[in-house]
Amino acid sequence: MAKRIFNFNAGPAALPLSVLEEIQAEFLDYKGCGMSITEVSHRSSWFDEVINDAVLRVKRLLNLGENYKVLFLHGGASLQFTMVPLNLIADDQVADYVNTGSWSVKAIKEAEIIGKKVRVVASSEDRDFNYIPKDIAFDADAAYVHITSNNTIRGTQWRSFPDTGGVPLVSDMSSDIMGRTFDVAPFGLIYAGAQKNLGPSGVTVAIIRQDMLERVPDNLPTMLKYTTYAAKNSMFNTPPCFAIYVLQLVMKWLEETIGGIANMEEINRKKAELLYNYLDESDFYRGTAEKEDRSIMNITFRLADESLEETFIAEALANGLGGLKGHRSVGGCRASIYNASSLEAVQALVSFMAEFERKHG
């Protein structure tokens, strides 16, 4: 038996054990083809089945209509910070951005680097990004409204999406895609690095609406145009095959083992509630995000005595609970409890936290 810890990493993050076991079992001989999935041509029927099934499952899970395309891109969400404005803001247009933390800041910065006009319509920087701005006035002529649906570093999440009056929403959903149900209709584009809720690092998913594809100018670099990927089923060049294969298996697990996103959300809410309830009842720990905007994916907290945090993280690891260190830019503690983190993992964490409090409180 392999030794396994409870993994609370923010990304790359835990994957379902059954998926890892399936990969391991067929790693030298993929479906009897005599090659590893890492050795199979992306132009083969074996890989075609992988990528087509991955697309289909994403569409089914998110209940996407025919007017949406699912793309597999390179470069992480960070390259999307450039591709989004490059593809979707016309020269005479301005895009509205909501600033809810580091990832929004980077998205805004990259749009400006390529000379696009950006308007920051709201920001939670005034209170260390510990909340989500409300009642925002958007420009009806904006090219799009860009939000970060879940803020991995600060532990906040848009509980409901803002009414933009018809302006297309564009969201970085890297850290909460597939974690809860939502209506995709207002979204022109959703993008997500895979390494949190979808699979391993190395592939980025984009869900793009037809009218957004129609905006893409002809004269962009081929690899930076959404239309390139849409026209070639994400295989204009060699895609990151292994990452797409793992993503396909994670989507299969989400559909067939969990039973879809509604079921997943119920589990996720239970996990988050268990941990937040514990934090709220304790004087030893405290959550850092405003209650009404708390993320169900990344639970950020501090110890009342911050000097104990290093010991807390080290003892947790010694007890088989890994990845609890907060992002290096903010410090503190963080439990990322993405889809593949089980209720059992959160129960183990809460037990450990209680035990640690008894010892050090």
Decide if 196 is catalytic: yes
Q: Are the C-beta atoms of 60 and 255 separated by less than 8 Å?
A: yes
Q: What is the dihedral of CA 104, 107, 110, 115, to 10 degrees?
A: -100
Decide if 103 is catalytic: yes
Tell me, residue by residue from 83 to 102, as one string, x for binding to a second copy by CB under 8 A and - for no binding: --------------------
Local structure of residue 327 (DSSP, 8 states): P
108 counts as binding a second copy under rule CB under 8 A: no
219 counts as binding a second copy under rule CB under 8 A: yes
> Judged by CB under 8 A, which of 162, 202, 287, 326 binds a second copy?
202
> Judged by CB under 8 A, which of 18, 28, 270, 277 binds a second copy?
28
Of 308, 306, 288, 307, whose CA–CA distance to 298 is shortest?
288
38 counts as binding a second copy under rule CB under 8 A: yes
CB atoms within 10 A of CB 342: 16
Among the listed residues 69, 116, 196, 325, the single catalytic one is: 196
Among the listed residues 69, 96, 103, 116, the single catalytic one is: 103
> Judged by CB under 8 A, which of 62, 243, 333, 349 binds a second copy?
243
Pick 320 or 361: Cβ nearer a second copy? 320
Q: Name the pairing type of β-strands 285-287 and 298-303.
A: antiparallel
Among the listed residues 96, 172, 176, 293, the single catalytic one is: 172
Please enumerate in sequence order all residues whose Cβ is within 8 A of that of 358, keeping only pairs 6 or more positions apart, or say none: none
- Count, residues near a second copy per rule CB under 8 A: 69
> For the stretch 310-333, what's the b/e string if a residue is b when 16 or more beta carbons lie within 10 angstroms of its beta carbon?
eebbebbeebebebbbbbeebebb
Q: What is the dihedral of CA 340, 345, 346, 352, to 10 degrees?
A: -150
Amino acid at 44: S
Q: Point out which residues bind a second copy (CB under 8 A).
A: 2-5, 7, 9-15, 17, 20-21, 23-24, 27-29, 32-36, 38-43, 74-79, 81-82, 106, 109-110, 113-114, 193, 195, 200-203, 219-224, 236-243, 246, 320, 322-323, 328
Active site residues: 103, 172, 196
